């Protein structure tokens, strides 16, 4: 009886670990400004062909300009709402995070390398933007909306 209970507990733990490893940041997220702690926008993250992208679905704070005036690429002068800010993320080999893509900061127009790590409960997303090495960057925590 004790062995059966141990096997059942072990199987449950394996299933939970497998579910956590397959967690995905696909969905709607509330961005939180890392300087002010205030909500800034809603970003919809989607997956296609094993790659993640994210676009601003709604601005929660009125911007100085409704278009990306500081963007240096094809996103220049595009409306902020609907703007793709996350591109080309792929799941890491260990399945614990997503990286290899980039994120645009529409306020500065700068593009950073990106790493996303979702919390175990799937309600928080660590968004780490950096140049060069992940140690040289900043992290925002986004909150799941859906």
**pTM assigned to the model:** 0.82
Residue 66 forms part of a structural domain? yes
Give the C-alpha separation, 40 to 48, whole Å: 26
pLDDT at position 18 is: 42
18's enclosing H/E stretch is helix 2-21
* Contact present, 59 and 33 (Cβ < 8 Å): no
Residue 15 forms part of a structural domain? no
Residue 17 forms part of a structural domain? no
Residue 78 forms part of a structural domain? yes
Least Cα distance to 37 among 58, 54, 61 occurs for: 61
Residue 13 forms part of a structural domain? no
- Mean pLDDT value across residues 35-56: 96
CB atoms within 10 A of CB 48: 7
pLDDT at position 7 is: 60
How sure is the predictor about 40, in pLDDT bands with cuts at 50, 70 and 90? very high
Residue 54 forms part of a structural domain? yes
Number of domains within the chain:
1
Residue 34: CATH number of its domain: 2.40.128.520
3-state DSSP assignment of residue 77 = coil
pLDDT in tens, 71-128: 999 999 999 999 999 999 999 998 889 999 999 999 999 999 999 999 999 999 999 9
Residue 1 forms part of a structural domain? no
Residue 80 forms part of a structural domain? yes
Domain hosting 64: range is 24-144
């Amino acid at each position: 009886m004790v062995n059966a209970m141990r096997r059942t507990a072990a199987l449950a733990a394996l299933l939970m670990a497998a579910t956590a490893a397959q967690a995905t940041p696909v969905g709607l997220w509330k961005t939180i400004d890392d300087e002010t702690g205030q909500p800034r926008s809603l970003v919809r993250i989607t997956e296609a062909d094993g790659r993640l992208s994210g676009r601003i679905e709604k601005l929660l704070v009125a911007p100085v300009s409704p278009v990306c005036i500081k963007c240096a690429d094809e996103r220049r002068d595009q409306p902020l709402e609907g703007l793709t800010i996350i591109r080309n993320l792929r799941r890491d080999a260990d399945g614990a995070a997503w990286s290899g893509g980039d994120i645009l900061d529409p306020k500065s127009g700068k593009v950073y390398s990106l790493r996303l790590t979702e919390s175990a409960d799937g309600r928080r997303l660590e968004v780490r933007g950096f140049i060069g090495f992940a140690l040289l960057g900043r992290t925002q925590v986004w909150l799941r909306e859906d």
